[in-house]
Amino acid sequence: MDDNLIIDYLEGRTTPEEEKEILNNISASAEDRRHLADMKAVHHWLSIDDTGLSGEKSFVKARDSLNRAISKKESQKHQRKFVKIFWTFSVAACLLVIIAVFSLNRKHILNGNIASFCNPDSVVMRLDLPDGSIVCLREGTTLSYNNKYDIKKREVWLNGEAFFDITKNSGKPFIVKTEKAMVIVHGTVFNVKATGHEQEIETILASGSVSLRNTRGKNIVELKPGQQAIFNPHKDYLEVKQIPAWNILLDRYHVVMISEAPILEVIDIIQKTYHTQLETNDEISENQLITFKFQKSAALGDVVEMLELVSGHEFTFSSD
């Protein structure tokens, strides 16, 4: 696939015909799927690594820098440097990076002035909103917003479950509307679950602050980081409790985090997750420790490629 076309796709500038071309390519070609995943990694790296440039020049510079860093022809010193950059993000950034690298599917529907995104896949889908906010949709979730989003107000409609990392803007609060209630924020990290067939809405706050309100705008509760609120408007029921928010969110979005563990233990976890066997001709020390993160619903080939990058070893795999 043409890199400039992929850049336009990641920046949301492709036409429906171009988007269809990309989706057809990645559906038919594992190589194209891996290439798109690589480009997504570059795109996210660029968002946290200010190059001082803009547009395609900035993207190309970041891509070239990343390619140099992970090239097998480069020294192990450079490879370790990239691994350190990529694998020492905060938990929030980790979750978003993993989803950015491994999520491939999206369905975008335009209906007048409304843009809707639906995730029919088991792989979590990441969306980048016009204001720089990031939303990750779980399977069966739909998110919609007016095309005038961020001009007058930041407002989205949610049916399902999504993780939000919202760009701070004190003048324009971010509003998540559901059939049962709404969540008001200015800039924070949180999760909302509100499906049409369930009577309750659940909100989990990881950082920042949010207020849960009913559909008429009346304030129900202000949440603090690490709190979960479950509200049933039909029964006028509210429960707020302290929870290990990040652990729960990582589990829900199928992200596995392994910190400073023996590489043989990491290999065993991957083998059990994918019911496969990893083999290598390299000599692997039992004392080698690595930090590794992956999304359970990602393609095995993509996970193995990341393992090769982090560990410095080459692997082959076969299904049972």
Coil, helix or strand for 155? Answer: strand
Structure tokens at 206: 């990881």
Q: How do residues 222-279 score in pLDDT, each as one tens digit? A: 999 999 999 998 888 999 999 998 888 888 888 888 888 999 999 999 999 999 999 9
Kindly report the average pLDDT of the chain as a whole number: 77
Alpha carbon of 103 to those of 95, 99, 123, 193, 241: distances in Å? 12, 5, 6, 20, 31
Rounded Cα gap, residues 312 and 300, in angstroms: 18
H or E element that contains 184: strand 181-185
Inform me whether the pLDDT recorded for 85 exceeds 50.
Answer: no
User: What number is the average pLDDT over the span 114-118?
Assistant: 88
Q: How do residues 18-76 score in pLDDT, each as one tens digit? A: 877 876 776 577 677 666 655 655 554 444 334 343 444 544 554 454 444 444 434 44
Q: Which of 19, 37, 39, 28 is nearest to 109 (CA)?
A: 19
pTM tops 0.85, yes or no: no
Rounded Cα gap, residues 92 and 248, in angstroms: 12
Are 284 and 317 a contacting pair, CB within 8 Å?
A: no
Q: How do residues 194-238 score in pLDDT, each as one tens digit? A: 987 788 999 999 888 899 998 888 889 999 999 999 999 888 899
